[in-house]
Amino acid sequence: MFGAFRPTGTNLGGLLWKTPWKLSVTRKANARARLKKVDAVIEAVRASGVQCESLNRALELPKEHEMPAKDKYTIFSATTKGYRKGIHKVPKWTRMTLRTNPKGF
Amino acid sequence: MSAILKSRSATLALSSRSWTRCSSLRAMSTANSSTQPETSASSLATTSEVSHNTHFKVTLKRSGISLGDKVKGTLLALGFHRRFQTVYHRHTPEAAGMILKVKELVEVENVPEHMVRTPEEQRRERKAVRGYKVVGNRRESLLNV
């Protein structure tokens, strides 16, 4: 009833903090576009011919078209039922690489 | 001269083909100029400077705000002070490592040596051309009598 994170209801001038459980179609499309952009960056570095350890690690990451939808829009969560939560719940998820999850989850 | 260029283009083609193993599906490359050496080298047989990509053209598209000191430090090391700034780095493992550290924030293109621009040159290129030409003014004409 009181505090910063109030639920819905008559809140005159109060804050409403509601995050949808899953991503909308638009958000998913934007997420896919961002993954493709990162793929393009890795591809440009690879095409330059430079050899370094971080490039080897980056090339091991799955590309956007190789990733299952589950990995694109959800992420492993040890504390959630089903061990998966929406990737949008991760802070700064639009600017981080979150492509792989523990095997089997 | 042309033989040297043709052999160089052949080695370039060979090296690029052997490097693309399963990553031949990576069609979303921003580096359109990376395919230039194979075509331009064969056509421009007389030029001494083949358009062989030597630099990364890196543009900051997303900021590093609240990503931590390491990422911010990497952006500073690359030379970034604001979004949409463009910097040029020679093809070195150090530059490649820095770019890959901030790969989510950055856009990369491979460019040849002659396409590299200093900040002053970039500023000059951004300037709009005046739609008029100043031919003189009254004070100058009076002084010159």
Contacts with A, B 69-88, CB within 8 Å? none
Closest CA to B41 of B2, B93, B72, B71: B2
Mean pLDDT over B119-129 rounds to 96
Q: Is residue A44 part of a domain?
A: yes
d(CA A46, CA A54): 11
Of B53, B95, B106, the CB nearest to A41: B106
Tokens 């994170």 sit at which residue? A5
More confident residue, B46 or B136: B136
Residue pair B31/A43 in contact (Cβ under 8 Å)? The answer is: yes
Mutate to test the interface with A, among B58, B100, B105, B109 (most CBs of A within 10 A): B100
Domain of A81, in residue numbers: 23-95
Chain B residues in contact with A64 by the CB 8 A cut-off are 28
CB atoms within 10 A of CB A75: 22
pLDDT at B86: 98
A40 located within any domain: yes
Q: Total domain count for chain A?
A: 1
Bridge partners (DSSP) of residue A75 are A85
In this predicted model, what pLDDT tens digit does every residue of A35-52 receive, in sequence order?
999 999 999 999 999 999
CA separation, residue B44 to residues B4, B39, B99 (Å): 12, 9, 32
pLDDT confidence band for B145 (50 / 70 / 90): low
Closest CA of chain B from A4, distance in Å: 22
Euclidean distance between CA atoms A13 and B58, whole angstroms:
44
Q: Is the pLDDT of residue B39 over 70?
A: no
* Rounded Cα gap, residues B34 and B32, in angstroms: 5
Domains of chain B: 55-126 (3.30.1390.20)
Facing residue for A47 by CB, picked from B25, B31, B104: B31
B110 CA to centre of own chain: 6
Which of residues B5 and A43 earns the better pLDDT score? A43
CA neighbor of B56 nearest in space, from B103, B5, B120:
B103
Contact yes or no for A41 and B97 at CB 8 A = no
Record: contact A37-B107, CB cut-off 8 A: yes
